[in-house]
Chain A
Amino acid sequence: MKRTLLTPLALVAGLALVAPQVLPEYYVTLANYIGLYSLVALGMVLLTGIGGLTSFGQAAFVGIGAYATAVLSTSYGLSPWLGLLAGLLITGGIALLLGVLTLRLSGHYLPIGTLAWGLSLFYLFGNLPNLGGFGGISNLPNIALFGWTIDSSADFSLAIWALVAAAIWLIGNLLDSREGRAIRALKGGTVMAEAMGVNTARSKLAIFVVAALLAALSGWLYAHLQRFVNPTPFSITMGIEYLFMIVLGGAASLGGALFGAALVTVLKQWLQDLLPHVFGQGGNFETIFFGALIILCLQYARDGLWPLLAARLPQRRRAAAELEVPVEAAALPRREALPANQPLLQAEGLVKRFGGLVANNNMGLTVNSGEITALIGPNGAGKSTLFNLLTGLLPLTSGEIRFRGERIDGLSSRRIARLGVSRTFQHVRLLPQMSVLENVALGAHMRGESGLLCASLHLEREEEARLLAEAARQIERVGLKEHLFDAAGSLPLGKQRIVEIARALSSDPYLLLLDEPAAGLRHLEKQALAELLGKLREEGMGVLLVEHDMDFVMGMADQVVVMEFGQKLAEGLPQQIQDDPAVLAAYLGGVE
């Protein structure tokens, strides 16, 4: 991450310093606009490409930033810096409110909410009496910074691109941190992230607010660059254009934001000159062109143009420094050890109904520390439902679940995870683009505490080193050391399951719930997994295992629980189960 940031940062710095001295005024102005749009687009990348949310209302946030400083600095004669503060505060407040309202709903309510909101704000800008109506507010003062008055294009170029560079640095830092991993996990669905103890609602809200604040910052600069504001640049059309920038550029990378902003700005200038010559006057031809371009881009190059371009650039070899994991970092504190063979998880009388179907009926089981309990049963017996009940993913219809004596039914999966229950998923839920190391570090999320601000400034490097070292230790332990930096999605499915185990282990759990861990493993890999589980058992961990490989189950388990029709059919030692005629009938079918 660090090194990939260097290139854009160097480019930006070079542009800001050199360009204004050598280029004609027209190009400097164009570059300034690209910078302003880039600020907004960077926030959009964080929100859309990385977080999987989107907003059409970013232009309205730009507008708030612009109008706040315009009103304060003209009508009240206050410093533009106060205007900046006011703009950021108002924007942050509104983003918080909108976010709280829409982020709990399915993904498409946020964009629709922002669409409606962006539109009403546009009309407010045009109609509120002290905002100057559609005519706008003019004669804004210049920004002064320690005696440096920012008034020429070249000055603005420096200021704008310094801020763009700062934004790239901060967002880059953020993404390369514990909070950043949580944000990147949002796109893979909230279930996995919550099971790792991530407060996904908070993460979503955070990126929405950050994106809004970046937009407001851009608006503040815009107002003082133009020294004039009116509603037009903050309309919903512009909000849509910001979205187009990142879709064209590539929504998943910071480079895509810059590239998209530049591409759209330059293309638009060029098309506005060219198209009327071709088609005659009186059209808005560039919107037709952009619309078609976006449609084709989404149909044929869904990740945008930047990744296509980046793939053609000569690939740098990854620097050795980047591949180093701080193994010497101090180990993270662990939970206190538990005595073996004590009940960890006790479930009694669990009932789960889906409409007319009873998926679990009066089901119960106990998992002890230092023991491996296997849960088996034919397809459709209700094992997955039971797993989801135990981990808080589904609410119980009735029944009681205790973990170390405490009631945990009714708790969210995040709270249950915090108590020391960690799990893997039947359908692997890794983030395929992220490295194995980062995926596993996500499991240690609960063991760190530094927040967004710390992460953006990289003030949490010591904690981060300890988290990564812990993740690396767990990866080594499960035998995937050579895959530390490979993208998780590039591993065969069997190994991905093992990565999930490492991820679960890095949360330092008392109880490990494994959903079909041996599926897709080769013989030797199964042996290694059995060895690992044996070691965990010796350390006092409780393991609940759903598995269909019966050789594996019968060889590993201390206790086997058999389910059929949502109920417990049998319970006992592996050999007792193998000899039980009722179990045989459940698997092969009864003969009537």
Chain B
Amino acid sequence: MSANNPLLNVERLSVCYGKVEAVRQVSLAIGEGQIVSVIGPNGAGKTTLLGALMGLLPAEGEVAYLGKTLQRHHGVAQRVGQGLNLVPESRELFSPMSVEDNLLLGAFSRHRQGHRDHGLTLAEVFDLFPRLKERRRQAAGTMSGGERQMLAMGRALMAKPKLLMLDEPSLGLAPRVIGEIFRIITELRATGVSILLVEQNARAALKCSDYGYVLENGEVALQGPAAELADDPKVIETYLGRKSAAPAPAAAALAG
């Protein structure tokens, strides 16, 4: 990793569920203004990693953010207050509330810190997602999958994050919407937000990233500049398995 002064620096992070180690000795770094991808198959521990960074799960290891060590007792709210925001895989919207209320609540942490510029931020978010502006009075629960993802991202942006962590932003979305989401991710970088992107959609993720990590069974299996990873055949193997695997007898019989 080339960044001299990383925004987030993770050293040997491990997370356990009971006896099972879901994330094992993971080290990674994100520099200011960078997009870093963590890709890997289902169950590799990507979501767990984000949960630990956000303070939702207890973890071992060292996490330094903005040059300071994050302690175990630094709760989620405290991390949000420092500009660390997560858009989770499950979106976690306030379904019965309107789109606008969902967005305004995104600014809750800043409101508590005494900022009162939510109107301006809201306008910026609406510029980025015009669709949300059209639907500002609608209940969040009635929106489609793509709109929910936009709302979840918009809500996180209302907190003016320094580091935005996105968990599977393309999950369950149609290709056209995925393209839109990744276009916005690239735009965000231009406004100075650093992004940690967790994705299964490896090609799209690596295409817009600076650097990438491949997580497998809770460990970093591969890492490197995104462009190099994108062409690495080993990445495909971690997803779809080795071709050399012996076919099942019945399958072989049918095939023959």
Q: Which positions in A face B, CB cutoff 8 Å?
A: 355-357, 371-372, 378-382, 489, 492-493, 516, 519-520, 534, 537, 548-559, 565-566, 573-575, 578, 583-584, 587-592
Contact = CB atoms under 8 A, between A and B. Distances in A.
Interface string B74-107: 0000000000000001000001000000000000
Contacts of B70: none
B207 A591 contact: yes
B172 A573 contact: no
Interface string B238-252: 011111011111110
- Of the listed residues A356, A371, A537, A565, the one surrounded by the most CB atoms of chain B closer than 10 A to its CB is A356
A493 B255 contact: no
Contact of B141 (A356, A372, A549, A584): A356
A551 B237 CA distance: 9
Contact of B245 (A380, A554, A583): A554
Contact count band on B: 35 or more
Contact of B142 (A356, A519, A557, A591): A356
B120 interface: no
Contacts of B200: 378-379, 587, 589
B202 interface: yes
Contact of A558 (B145, B170, B254): B254
A357 B91 CA distance: 13
Nearest to A551: B241
A378 B44 CA distance: 13
A589 B41 CA distance: 12
A548 B43 contact: yes
- Of the listed residues A557, A584, A592, the one surrounded by the most CB atoms of chain B closer than 10 A to its CB is A592
Interface of B: 17-20, 41-43, 89, 95, 141-145, 168, 170-172, 174-175, 178-179, 199-205, 207, 235-236, 239-243, 245-251, 254-255
A573 B254 contact: yes
Nearest to A549: B241
Contacts of B203: 588-591
A554 B247 contact: yes
Contacts of B175: 590, 592
Contact of A574 (B170, B201, B251): B251
B168 A550 contact: no
Contacts of B249: 534
A551 B254 contact: no
B174 A565 contact: yes
A62 B85 CA distance: 56
A575 B255 contact: yes
Contacts of A556: 248
A92 to B, nearest CB: 42
Contacts of A357: 144-145, 172
A543 to B, nearest CB: 11
A302 B248 CA distance: 50
B201 A548 contact: no
A588 B255 CA distance: 26
Contacts of B199: 589
A27 B248 CA distance: 74
B20 A554 contact: no
A133 B142 CA distance: 58
Contacts of B95: 355
Contacts of A591: 203-204, 207
A555 B248 CA distance: 5
Given A356-B143, A573-B255, A588-B201, A537 B239 contact: no
